């Protein structure tokens, strides 16, 4: 299974084409729209979220609510495009009366992207490098989630830290976390810490600043032996780490208790093996992975997210034409994207798991894939 996506932040639309989804999967636009709505929520989002109300349109690959096995096309219209018709026009325009961006933001793709592609208007870079692109990735991930759901696998994200406010690790179960974050605007399981996180975001916003944080992404009921140890680039945890880093603002990824493990004795962190109607681990310090393969424990992946580069009290930069010091440009943005980033990372994890499963058990029909997964689970229990 693979996909390509396209589109600019203020262009007409975002588009993705997914190939390799088996036939016979129940899929509707509403299933995808639920995740798109979650991505737009979260304390600290900017004014763009008041303009957009993301709704997907499925334009191919699905008939009467069922996938056909042919490529699936997803489209999300950018409502804000109507306000950018001249700036983002496809055809040549007679005049350039709009503001041409010439002062790059520290921490953004603006400058290096312009250097790479030879652009003298930084908007040619920022439109595609913008995190607006993650909307279509959430839509793609929602399709992957439906594949996983048919196989009894579920993914979930929650926030551990925003700026200097941290809850630390939580020992709640998957279902307890799912329930606890329902009423939190920052998707944090502790209501007291949640309120402190919101206050910290407010402080940053008042100062024209932004804050990052840490998200934990979980997957339950993942069978053992997905991935392989035989080649470095086929290890599943390596694929997931690469996919996470590919999300805007993610600057670090680690699995399980990696931070603790790096400073502990091996005897304290290796997950001991036991047997109870199949092989199990008595702990999960390594986040469900051993040797690049799933070991049957829940997957636990952390993403460290930097603050958004657009600041309303901008940092110093250099004008690309005059080479003089100027304040970096201001582009409408958020104060904090950490809760929303969690939804994006859920989608990324779902896509990587679904892709790995289809590679392992390749099937053109969902019914055959379900049967193959059931046989695999039984074989793992009988080993």
Distance CA 237, CA 291 (A): 9
314 in a labelled binding site: no
| Domain boundaries of the chain, sorted by first residue | 2-382
310 in a labelled binding site: yes
Question: Which residues does 16 contact at the CB level (< 8 Å), separation at least 6?
Answer: 3, 4, 5, 6, 73, 74, 136, 137, 139, 140
Q: Phi/psi class of residue 277: alpha, beta or left (left: φ > 0; alpha: ψ in -120 to 50)?
A: left
Measured N-to-C along each axis, helices 338-361 and 236-245 cross at an angle, to the nearest 10 degrees, of 150
Res. 97: pLDDT tops 80: no
Task: Compute the chain's Rg from CA coordinates.
Answer: 22
70 in a labelled binding site: no
The pTM of the full predicted model, rounded to 2 decimals, is: 0.94
**Residues 269-311 pLDDT 10s:** 999 999 998 999 999 999 999 999 999 999 999 999 999 988 8
Q: What is the pLDDT of residue 259?
A: 77
pLDDT band at 51 (very low <50, low <70, confident <90, very high): low
381 in a labelled binding site: no
Distance CA 256, CA 274 (A): 19
Q: Which CATH architecture has domain 2-382?
A: 4-Layer Sandwich (3.60)
**Residues 336-376 pLDDT 10s:** 999 999 999 999 999 999 999 999 998 999 999 999 999 99
| Max Cα distance, the chain (Å) | 73
306 in a labelled binding site: yes
Task: Using the Cα atoms of residue 342, residue 75, residue 118 and residue 210 in order, give the sign of their dihedral.
Answer: negative
335 in a labelled binding site: no
**Residues 15-48 pLDDT 10s:** 999 999 999 999 999 999 999 999 988 786 665 5
Share of the chain above pLDDT 70, in %: 98
pLDDT band at 317 (very low <50, low <70, confident <90, very high): very high
291 in a labelled binding site: yes
Q: What is the pLDDT of residue 331?
A: 82
Question: Which residues does 252 contact at the CB level (< 8 Å), separation at least 6?
Answer: 302, 303, 304
| Residue of 171, 139, 145, 148 whose CA lies nearest to 158 | 171
248 in a labelled binding site: yes
13 in a labelled binding site: no
Distance CA 110, CA 133 (A): 16
20 in a labelled binding site: no
53 in a labelled binding site: no
Distance CA 228, CA 236 (A): 7
Q: What is the pLDDT of residue 47?
A: 58
Q: Which residue has the higher pLDDT, 222 or 335?
A: 222
């Amino acid at each position: 299974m693979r996909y390509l996506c396209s589109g600019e932040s203020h262009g007409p639309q975002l588009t993705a084409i997914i190939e390799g989804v088996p036939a016979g999967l129940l899929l509707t636009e509403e299933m995808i729209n639920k995740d798109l709505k979650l991505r737009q929520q979260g304390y600290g989002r900017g004014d763009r979220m008041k303009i957009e109300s993301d709704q997907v349109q499925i334009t191919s690959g699905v008939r009467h609510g069922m996938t056909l096995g042919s490529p699936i096309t997803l489209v999300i219209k950018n409502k804000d495009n109507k306000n950018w018709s001249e700036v983002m026009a496809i055809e040549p325009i007679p005049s350039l009366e709009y503001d041409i961006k010439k002062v790059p933001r520290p921490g953004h793709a603006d400058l290096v992207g312009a250097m790479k592609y030879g652009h003298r208007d930084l908007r040619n870079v920022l439109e595609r490098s913008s995190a607006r692109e993650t909307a279509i990735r959430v839509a793609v991930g929602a399709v992957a989630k439906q594949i996983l759901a048919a196989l009894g696998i579920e993914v979930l994200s929650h926030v551990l830290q925003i700026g200097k406010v941290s809850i630390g690790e939580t020992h709640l179960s998957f279902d307890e976390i799912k329930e606890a974050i329902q009423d939190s605007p920052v998707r944090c399981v502790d209501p007291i810490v949640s309120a402190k996180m919101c206050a910290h975001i407010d402080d940053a916003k008042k100062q024209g600043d932004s804050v990052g944080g840490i998200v934990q992404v979980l997957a339950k009921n993942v069978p053992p032996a997905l991935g392989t140890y035989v080649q470095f680039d086929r290890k599943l945890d390596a694929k997931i780490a690469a996919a996470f880093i590919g999300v805007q603002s993610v600057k670090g990824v680690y699995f399980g208790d990696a931070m603790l493990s790096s400073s502990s004795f091996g005897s304290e962190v290796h997950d001991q093996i036991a047997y109870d109607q199949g092989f199990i681990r008595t702990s999960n310090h390594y986040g469900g992975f051993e040797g690049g393969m799933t070991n049957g424990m829940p997957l636990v992946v952390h993403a460290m997210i930097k603050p958004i580069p657009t600041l309303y009290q901008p940092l110093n930069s250099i004008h690309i034409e005059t080479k003089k010091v100027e304040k970096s440009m201001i582009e409408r943005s958020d104060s904090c994207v950490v809760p929303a980033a969690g939804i994006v990372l859920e989608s990324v994890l779902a896509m990587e798991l679904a892709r790995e499963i289809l590679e392992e058990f390749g099937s053109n029909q969902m019914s055959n894939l379900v049967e193959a997964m059931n046989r695999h689970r039984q074989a793992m229990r009988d080993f």
